[in-house]
Copies of this chain bind each other. A is one copy, B any other.
Amino acid sequence: MKETFIKELTTASLKDPVLIEGLPGLGLVGKIATRYLIRQLKAEKLAYLYSPHFPYFVLVNKKGSVRLLRGTFYFWKNKNGKNDLLFFTGDSQAQTIEGQYEISARILDFAVQNNVKLIVTIGGYRTEAKDKPKVIAAATNPEILNKTLQAQAAVSPSGSPIVGSAGLILGLARFKKVDALCLLGETRGYLPDPKAAKSVLETLQSLLNIDVDLKGLDEEIAKAEKMVTRLQKIEEKRTLQAEETRKEENKKVTYIS
């Protein structure tokens, strides 16, 4: 395997498909949001993307079988709406600079080949958490950006970077005459953040006119908040113990003298 390649598992004839992309990144926002939609909509696997720029290990699955790290394309036939959906998510971002460009370009090529006219990439936007994470948007097309701003999103500050596939796909899209939109959920970024993913999905639903029950995310949000609380307690304990140890050390110094 010298280059990134896509292995198609089936073919699907899709009606004006929109591609939704979410790889792991800040707060895993993109991956959590995309995976949630795939599960709720019972989307089906369409193709795998493999790359020598992914980390060099394999993962063991539940049955003791093994697979390469990969990305997966899914599709969903939208019986009531006007756009079928394609999804792309995966185990990892590329580990090299050239790999980042190569993988984003391949995702885009595959979208074009499937007549995709709009790609929505999802990621995290690092900031100190407020009560409800905002959704930050950027797009290759002002019309789409305007629609998004009407769906409870704020425009990204000028000069702000969007790192990895969520950004590069937008940057490369103009060479392929595909429109692309990036939705970033506000997150502190260092722990999985389903709350940020929920904000993004609310905007996305309103924008694409799809109807997915987001309550399933609330459980994950509760779990994530417990985790944060637990980590904060551990951190406090550690600080206290370090303080105690230092005092003990100082006493010892005195006894010796």
Listed in ascending order, the chain A residues whose CB lies under 8 Å from chain B are 1-2, 52-68, 94-102, 105, 137-140, 142, 145, 155-164, 167-168, 170-172, 174, 180, 182, 247, 250-254, 256-257
Contact = CB atoms under 8 A, between A and B. Distances in A.
Number of copies: 4
A65 B139 contact: yes
Of A94, A145, A250, the most chain B CB neighbours within 10 A belong to A250
B67 A171 contact: yes
Contact of A66 (B52, B63, B105, B182): B182
B53 A171 contact: no
Contact of A63 (B96, B98, B142): B142
7 contacts: A52-B97, A52-B101, A53-B98, A60-B138, A60-B158, A61-B158, A65-B142
A68 B108 CA distance: 15
Contact of A60 (B60, B95, B162): B162
A66 B97 contact: no
A236 to B, nearest CB: 20
Contacts of A253: 250, 253, 257
B256 A254 contact: yes
A59 B101 contact: no
A101 B100 CA distance: 17
A115 to B, nearest CB: 22
A100 B140 contact: no
A105 B5 CA distance: 14
A58 B139 contact: no
A146 B188 CA distance: 45
A2 B102 contact: yes
B2 A159 contact: no
Contacts of A252: 250
A163 B52 CA distance: 14
A157 B62 CA distance: 7
Contacts of A94: 56
| Nearest 6 A/B pairs, CB to CB | A68-B171, A254-B257, A56-B100, A52-B101, A58-B167, A64-B155
A147 B51 CA distance: 32
Given A64-B156, A66-B162, A68-B171, A97 B256 contact: no
